Structure 1
Amino acid sequence: MTTTESTTLLDRVTVAPETGRPIPDAATREIIGHAPVHTVTDLDAAVAAARAAQPAWAALGHEERSRILHAIADEIEANAEELAVLLSREQGKPLDGPNARFEVGASAAWVRNAADTAIETEVVFEDGPARSELHYEALGVVGAIGPWNWPMMITVWQIAPALRMGNAVVVKPSEYTPLSVLALASVFNRHLPADVLTVVSGDREVGAAIAAHPGVDKIMFTGSTATGRRIVESSANNLARLTLELGGNDPGIVLPDTDVSAIAENLFWGAFINTGQTCAALKRLYVHESVYDEVVDALAELARVIPMGRGLEEGNVLGPLQNEQQFGIVARLVDDARSRGARVVSGGEPAPELGPLFYRATVVADIEDGAALVDEEQFGPVIPVVKYTDVDDAIARANASSQGLGASVWSNDPEAAVEVARRVQAGTVWINQHGAVNPNVPFGGTKASGYGHEFGVHGLKAVSSPKVISR
């Protein structure tokens, strides 16, 4: 069943202004709805209900849970345009390009993958009649704390595997994008038993309470490294298992004599996907002196011509910063780079004619490590391009960050690129692309970018309790 004009998904999840928190359109700042303001008391009730509902959900077995997940994926697809429009308004990403419609489609695809991925009993020892098997069972209640940049897709990454393995889930969305997650959950709940999936739309106090809650068995968190550290501390109270996908100041290395025309578009989207608001986006680019000027010029030209504007206007593929805080961070980092003598080749300023939080796609050249724009995660439509002469030096610079989520190597020579990739410290290193994820391929960070893996069999195991049966 799809929603009708009189009962839209937004109608279903928004509350009265006097009882809710206003949520603005990211592009225009007009209020599009009011999110519920849940409290720690609401969280306690949601966790208790989830614990009561979980055993029956687990007892359905893999086949029935997978059937239900496929029905949910069908429902997402049936409501895809309405979900995409809400997402575009609340988060800011345009409908077109690798943005809102893409995110909704990916959400359905990841639900199907969670349903279809096989997880087999593993025989870990066998000697005559002696046999030890490793089984994977539901943990109980999973607490999912999501971000504002890809609110639907990342929430699906958290909840679909958890549901498949027989867990109940309590979701805490970002305060910036709660309506998208509430709408997505309402689609899920057309097919799930009561209380198996609940959204608690609260503030940071609620998020902190989930991490420390005695009724929560697993925490999945995507967000900043600083918040991740606090979650680790809070989880000491209940020894909840953790999967943390934290910040990433992802480096890219362009090797000597690379064909720039062949990689320019992939380079651009590696940095500017979702207007740069992606944890695993390309954040700092090291380019060999032999192709440096050509890379800078190619990126700057794309930055000038790629359409930016309000997400509901067809044709735009870059949008605004999602919130005032992030807009301020981006502006500060670019201004600091300019004050250090860096060359702003394109952009470098707000675009107020488009809306309050638009910042032009920006390419910054002639900048070095030590500048805040290189050393900090900008999380916006800006890429600093750093010249190098020695590949070993570029690798050392790439590895100097405390973070290690993703990285990329760019070259005409795949073997040379792989040799460099093996030396770069990151959870994923892409060759001639950056940020591409696959539901079958494990994804996770190293160093201060977190720990634990999502996707595929690894993702199912991460939301399971391993049990050894020996005989």
Structure 2
Amino acid sequence: MLEGRSAGEYMAGHTSYVRREPIGVVGQVTPWNYPLMMAIWKIAPALAAGNAVVLKPSDTTPVSTLLLAEIASEFFPAGVFNVVCGDRDTGRSLVAHPTPQLVSITGSTRAGKEVAAAAAPDLKRTHLELGGKAPVVIFDDADLAAAAEAIAVGGYFNAGQDCTAATRVLAGPGVYDDFVAALVEQARETKTGLPDDEDVLYGPLNNANQLARVTGFVDRLPDHAALGIGGSRVGDRGFFYAPTVVSGVRQQDEIIQDEVFGPVITVQRFTDEEEAVRWANGVEYGLSASVWTKDHGRAMRMTRRLDFGCVWVNTHIPFVSEMPHGGFKHSGHGKDLSVYSLEDYTRIKHVMHNWG
């Protein structure tokens, strides 16, 4: 039992109680952006709840997961934690196999939809942690220096390859111009490159396809958008992309509606709180958001109205293992971290005894 609900006599002569049991075999698929951490997020609650795991890491970043499995094999019984390498077809085979009773994926919304469809014929449970398009709502009374610094870290960390990245800024009318200028200056001082340079904040994009994706978003910017800085590849080797700031964008622009997954920050100017809420919620994703204001009442209103699974106030991107991580809408369902993840990896059985 994960909490203290007691057994009870709800019918004369009978005692009822609830058992939380392991689901059985769980199939899991992890992404390339945090390969080792995502493997831990997946296997820890599944194994702690008593399940066996078959995990497929990304085909571009499998080595750390294989090393984890090799080390774990010294401690876990054989067959408890299994790693299968391969591409998308391998993932599809894992999901479609009749043995797993739950399939869990961290990845793109496209991949999540495919997993849900493949799981449907066997009515398997799904745990989907998918893409994000986090709004960062900056009100006129916010601490601009703190917000700009947090966005520079939260937007460029891991080259923006994070579904909670602070890459969609909505700024109030009184601070918009100053904030765009601050973000441009932050980008000018931010460096990408090889890890042997101590001044480098973030490294390359994961692969050639991801570089082409990020480049395409910037290359297709509409005429009304303004490229403040960046917007180009860095060097002619590897997949490094410059820190980029784009302003003047509108709500229906592709770069606002779709996940870029790169070091590209957009800035929109909103007129009032109502418009800020409407624009923040006006995407298909619902993973995370942040609000920056000194007004406690406004912060409470915004956190209630924002349609996102995690909302930060005057900060962006920190997580603690004791609290849940997961989103709404096209960002999927189910929770990683915290006791809620343990609930996701168990099933509920009602047991009733006739003692009359």
Report TM bin, short chain: over 0.9
Name structure 2 gaps, 5 residues minimum.
none
- Give the structure 2 partner of residue 287 of structure 1: 171
- Give the structure 2 partner of residue 340 of structure 1: 223
Note if contact 1:121-1:133 (Cα within 8 Å) is conserved in structure 2: no
How far apart, CA to CA, are the structure 1 residues paired with 2:104 and 2:329?
A: 17
Name structure 1 gaps, 5 residues minimum.
1-117
- Among 30, 35, 41, which residue is 1:151 paired with? 35
Note if contact 1:283-1:377 (Cα within 8 Å) is conserved in structure 2: no
- Among 195, 198, 202, which residue is 2:79 paired with? 195
- Among 186, 208, 217, which residue is 2:92 paired with? 208
Task: Give 1:356 deviation, angstroms.
Answer: 2.8
How far apart, CA to CA, are the structure 2 residues paired with 1:399 and 1:296?
A: 22
- Give the structure 2 partner of residue 352 of structure 1: 235
- Give the structure 2 partner of residue 408 of structure 1: 290
Task: Give 1:187 deviation, angstroms.
Answer: 2.1
* Residue 419 (1) aligns with residue 264 (2): no
* Residue 244 (1) aligns with residue 111 (2): no
Task: Give 1:216 deviation, angstroms.
Answer: 0.7
- Structure with the larger RCO, 1 or 2 (CA within 8 Å, 6+ apart): 2
SS in structure 2 of the partner of residue 331 of structure 1:
helix
Note if contact 1:406-1:445 (Cα within 8 Å) is conserved in structure 2: yes
Letter in 2 for 1:442: P
- Give the structure 1 partner of residue 2 of structure 2: 119
* Residue 160 (1) aligns with residue 44 (2): yes
- Among 114, 124, 133, which residue is 2:17 paired with? 133
1:261-410 to structure 2, matched below 5 A, reads: 261-337=145-221, 339-352=222-235, 355-410=237-292
- The Cα offsets for residues 386-410 of structure 1, whole Å up to 9 and x where unpaired, read as 1111220121111111111111111
How far apart, CA to CA, are the structure 2 residues paired with 1:262 and 1:236?
A: 46
SS in structure 1 of the partner of residue 305 of structure 2:
coil
Task: Give 1:433 deviation, angstroms.
Answer: 1.8
How far apart, CA to CA, are the structure 1 residues paired with 2:214 and 2:254?
A: 11
Task: Give 1:286 deviation, angstroms.
Answer: 0.7
Task: Give 1:249 deviation, angstroms.
Answer: 1.4
What TM-score do you get using the length of structure 1 for normalisation?
0.72
How far apart, CA to CA, are the structure 2 residues paired with 1:163 and 1:312?
A: 37
- The Cα offsets for residues 230-273 of structure 1, whole Å up to 9 and x where unpaired, read as 11111123222111001111212111222202322112222222
Structure 1 residues 143 and 423, CA, compared in 2 at 3 Å: closer, same or farther?
same
- The Cα offsets for residues 59-95 of structure 1, whole Å up to 9 and x where unpaired, read as xxxxxxxxxxxxxxxxxxxxxxxxxxxxxxxxxxxxx
Letter in 2 for 1:189: S
How far apart, CA to CA, are the structure 2 residues paired with 1:369 and 1:404?
A: 16
Letter in 2 for 1:343: A
- Among 90, 98, 112, which residue is 1:228 paired with? 112
More helix by share: 1
Structure 1 residues 345 and 198, CA, compared in 2 at 3 Å: closer, same or farther?
same
SS in structure 2 of the partner of residue 282 of structure 1:
coil
Structure 1 residues 348 and 207, CA, compared in 2 at 3 Å: closer, same or farther?
same
How far apart, CA to CA, are the structure 2 residues paired with 1:459 and 1:367?
A: 37
Letter in 1 for 2:21: E
- Give the structure 1 partner of residue 328 of structure 2: 446
Note if contact 2:257-2:284 (Cα within 8 Å) is conserved in structure 1: no
Structure 1 residues 126 and 414, CA, compared in 2 at 3 Å: closer, same or farther?
farther
- The Cα offsets for residues 95-133 of structure 1, whole Å up to 9 and x where unpaired, read as xxxxxxxxxxxxxxxxxxxxxxx8246326555875432
How far apart, CA to CA, are the structure 2 residues paired with 1:303 and 1:465?
A: 48
Note if contact 1:421-1:429 (Cα within 8 Å) is conserved in structure 2: yes
How far apart, CA to CA, are the structure 2 residues paired with 1:124 and 1:202?
A: 46
- Give the structure 1 partner of residue 141 of structure 2: 257
Identity of aligned residues (%): 38
How far apart, CA to CA, are the structure 2 residues paired with 1:270 and 1:411?
A: 18
How far apart, CA to CA, are the structure 1 residues paired with 2:332 and 2:8?
A: 32
